Amino acid sequence: MKGWRRTGSRALIVAGALGLLSACTTAGSGPSAGAVERTARASAQGKFPVVELGDFPLAYSTTTVGDGLAALGNSKYNGNVLRAGDTIDVKIFDTGTDGLLSSAESKALQLGTFRIDNNGSVNLPFAGRVRAAGSSPSALQDRIAGSLRGSSVSPQASVYVTESGSSGFTVSGDVKGAGRFNLSPQGEKVLDAIAMGGGPASPPGELEISVLRGARSASASMERVLSDPRQNIHVQPNDQIFVRRQASSFTSFGAFKSPGEFNFEPGRMSMAQAVARAGGLLDDRANPKKVYLFRYEPAAVARSLGVAPASSVQSPPVPMVYLVDMTKTPSFFQMQSFQMRAGDVLYVPNTASANLGKAFQVFQKAPPTAAAPLPE
């Protein structure tokens, strides 16, 4: 009976230590591999997928994610198209002898300057209300001449754009000279627009470019815009271009030799380099089969990987977990091509044996308990 009591007390202490270990975390610890993947399957905030890099070809990389600025299209600004807000100069001519200007000394009449209203039309003397937006100046000339044929024999008109009020766009944020600028007939692109705003005020590797166009918006890192011509889209009238400095760092937790936050230039550090930056794995604690990377991916990327249901293009980013098994040789090639992004979180859990060892350490450090008095 006496031996059973002492054995039972020790069993209760060990059970209590294991329960405490599973419920709490200490420096360098965190959820087990099983806890991570169970949470992924049944999260209260919605399921998030665990994607194994080993399922992808060796050349797989996520350097390019989503459509970026290309999602807004790349149609070039047409300076020969009239728009609401433009100011035009209109003059009419009458070469006939019995027409509108037959009694005048001159066969030409300067009607004046007019602003195309928000509905795209302009009110002109003699001609009345004429649709202007969407037409070229020469097409509007023909339209004005046609509206004068009832009062003129051989009417003609000339139209000149004196102010292109609708071609303005804004550049703001981390630039040296934020402001509003007008598009030229050549049709500026995003990088041209930022140059017009004085250029970036921070290193390109730290910047993200966002373009707001009506109810749509898109973003891409400046480094991606510089390296991918498809991202350097043409600017459209009323575009709002915002240059933002973003946190260029990733964080590592768990069984790394040197966990912490590390700065880098996005797209210039692979997952392999990030693991090395964190000091590599702790030989006596880390579970090399379960190296996790947590990040938010655009919905389009999640759908392309087959881990998100089909939905609209405007879906919010999807939380995802990438899993690497560092006991497999191909994983090292995949980690070389898998690029880190700002905000990524690396995590390596302890092995089951390491957790068990910690439990025994808790048991060994526990203060001795007084034995129960023997029955008389």
Show the domain range for 219: 69-77+167-245
Q: Which of 131, 163, 195 is the last residue of a domain?
A: 163
One domain for residues 295 and 324: yes
One domain for residues 358 and 272: yes
In order of 142, 158, 181, 296, the CA distances from 133 in angstroms are 14, 16, 21, 42
Look at residue 194 in the predicted model and tell me its pLDDT. Answer: 96
Label residue 214 by pLDDT band (50, 70, 90). Answer: confident
The helix (run of H) or strand (run of E) holding residue 146 is: helix 137-147
One domain for residues 275 and 361: yes
Do 26 and 375 form a contact (C-beta atoms < 8 A)?
no
Lowest-pLDDT choice from 101-115, 143-157, 236-250, 307-321: 307-321
Q: Which of 120, 147, 163 is the last residue of a domain?
A: 163
Alpha carbon distance 251, 249 (integer Å)? 7
237 compared with 376, residue with greater pLDDT? 237
**Domain count for the chain:** 3
Q: Does residue 308 lie in a domain region?
A: yes
pTM score over 0.75 = no
What residues form DSSP beta bridges with 321? 50, 294
Q: Does residue 302 lie in a domain region?
A: yes
Question: β-pairing, 249-254 with 345-348?
Answer: parallel
One domain for residues 183 and 233: yes
Q: In the predicted model, what is the mean pLDDT of residues 25-39?
A: 70
Q: Does residue 375 lie in a domain region?
A: no
Q: Does residue 311 lie in a domain region?
A: yes
> How crowded is the C-beta side of 108, counted as CA atoms within 13 Å?
6
Output 101-107 pairs: Cβ under 8 A, ≥24 positions apart. 101/152
Do 231 and 208 form a contact (C-beta atoms < 8 A)?
no
Q: Does residue 252 lie in a domain region?
A: yes
Question: β-pairing, 240-245 with 168-173?
Answer: parallel
One domain for residues 300 and 351: yes
Q: Which of 133, 163, 193 is the last residue of a domain?
A: 163
One domain for residues 287 and 357: yes
Q: Does residue 73 lie in a domain region?
A: yes
Return the structure tokens found at 308. 């998100």
One domain for residues 351 and 223: no
Q: Which of 210, 226, 278, 224 is nearest to 250 (CA)?
A: 278
DSSP state of 281: B
Look at residue 221 in the predicted model and tell me its pLDDT. Answer: 86
- Mean residue pLDDT of the chain comes to 78
Q: Does residue 371 lie in a domain region?
A: no
Domain containing residue 298: CATH number: 3.10.560.10
Alpha carbon distance 191, 175 (integer Å)? 12
One domain for residues 352 and 257: yes
One domain for residues 263 and 138: no
Look at residue 347 in the predicted model and tell me its pLDDT. Answer: 96
**Is the confidence at residue 241, as pLDDT, over 50?**
yes
Domain containing residue 127: CATH number: 3.30.1950.10
One domain for residues 227 and 258: no
Alpha carbon distance 273, 259 (integer Å)? 14
One domain for residues 73 and 183: yes
Q: Does residue 6 lie in a domain region?
A: no
**Is the confidence at residue 258, as pLDDT, over 50?**
yes
In terms of average pLDDT, the best of 5-14, 75-84, 185-194, 356-365 is 185-194
Q: In the predicted model, what is the mean pLDDT of residues 92-104?
A: 63
One domain for residues 262 and 138: no
Label residue 3 by pLDDT band (50, 70, 90). Answer: very low
H helices then E strands: how many in the chain? 9, 16
Look at residue 271 in the predicted model and tell me its pLDDT. Answer: 93
Q: In the predicted model, what is the mean pLDDT of residues 249-272?
A: 88
